[in-house]
Amino acid sequence: MIPDCDPFDEDKFTKKFMLEYGIDNVRGGSYSRVKLLLSEYEAISQQLHGSTDQCFGPFCKSLPVSDNLV
């Protein structure tokens, strides 16, 4: 067990790994479904793009997190 961790660490690290390896390739914490719901996928994608100051609207030319929409 990791000392001094909080209840949000598992989701935080899951999102960090999703950013690095792609949303489709990582599961954990609140995102444990093998196939995420479209609403979950879109929310995660928006959060990852926002946290890295990338665009996430309809005018965005590229989606570096994952091009594979559910």
Determine the pLDDT at residue 9. Answer: 93
Q: Does some domain include residue 12? A: no
Do residues 45 and 23 make contact, with C-beta atoms less than 8 angstroms apart? yes
Q: How many domains does the chain have?
A: 1
Q: What is the pTM of this model?
A: 0.70
Q: Does some domain include residue 44? A: yes
Determine the pLDDT at residue 5. Answer: 86
Phi, psi for 33 (deg, rounded to 5):
-65, 140
Q: Does some domain include residue 45? A: yes
> Is the pLDDT score of 70 beyond 50?
no
> Is the pLDDT score of 37 beyond 60?
yes
Q: Does some domain include residue 61? A: no
> Is the pLDDT score of 57 beyond 80?
no
The mean per-residue pLDDT over the stretch 3-24 comes to: 93
DSSP state of 19: H
Domain that holds residue 48: 18-23+34-53
Q: Does some domain include residue 70? A: no
> Is the pLDDT score of 33 beyond 60?
yes
Q: How far apart are the first and last CA of the chain?
A: 34
Q: Does some domain include residue 69? A: no
Residue 47: CB atoms within 10 A of its CB come to 15
Q: Does some domain include residue 46? A: yes
